[in-house]
Structure 1
Amino acid sequence: MSESKPAMGKPEFTPRLISLGLVRQMRLARCLVGDETGMTVFTARNEQGTAVVLRNAIDMFKGSMWLALDKWGRIETTDSADSTVKEGNHISLIEFELVTVVDE
């Protein structure tokens, strides 16, 4: 997770669930997830598992990078998420700013 950038192509993560907060009653949850490189906020909808692989899941929310799945993203359950979580690197707390680069 620590190598994540807001404009990444198709990133893949295998995080562990750290905490879960119910957002709405329609099976929507805001979760804190992490892997051996750091932690971030992940928005989960519908069926949920504790060990998952997330593909194409980076979303910008109020200048911060979160994990969220839309029609382009994919989630799969897995048994391979047995790493420890690096809790000191919470990348959702980093605020990003869009910068326009002008070619000369």
Structure 2
Amino acid sequence: MDDCGLTWLHVFPFSPRKGTPAAKMPQVAGPLIRERAARLRAAGEEATRRHLDAQVGRRHLVLMESATLGRTEQFAEVLFGTGQPLGALVEAEIAGRDGERLRAA
């Protein structure tokens, strides 16, 4: 994960489907599956935190999805304190973050 520079993870356990090649492979025990998924989720949360923290002070072009919420080209959500035109590309300086969302200056 780190070698690939992944930031946004969606982790879910593998479910074999009857008749597929993967279903014929030896299956991993449930507790190990849950432990691996938990480790991946934790690593993903840390990667997201590092990525968002690194955006503070930078300028981004943001596509507005609502009056006060848009997304950067890297898919990070950005909150605006004032309304912006829906669908507009707005240049914003990132002042900080609130949880998993960036906050525009």
User: TM-score, normalized by length of structure 2?
Assistant: 0.37
User: TM-score, normalized by length of structure 1?
Assistant: 0.38
Bigger helix share: 2
Pair member with larger Rg: 2
Q: Which has the higher contact order (CA 8 A, sep 6+)?
A: 1
Bigger strand share: 1
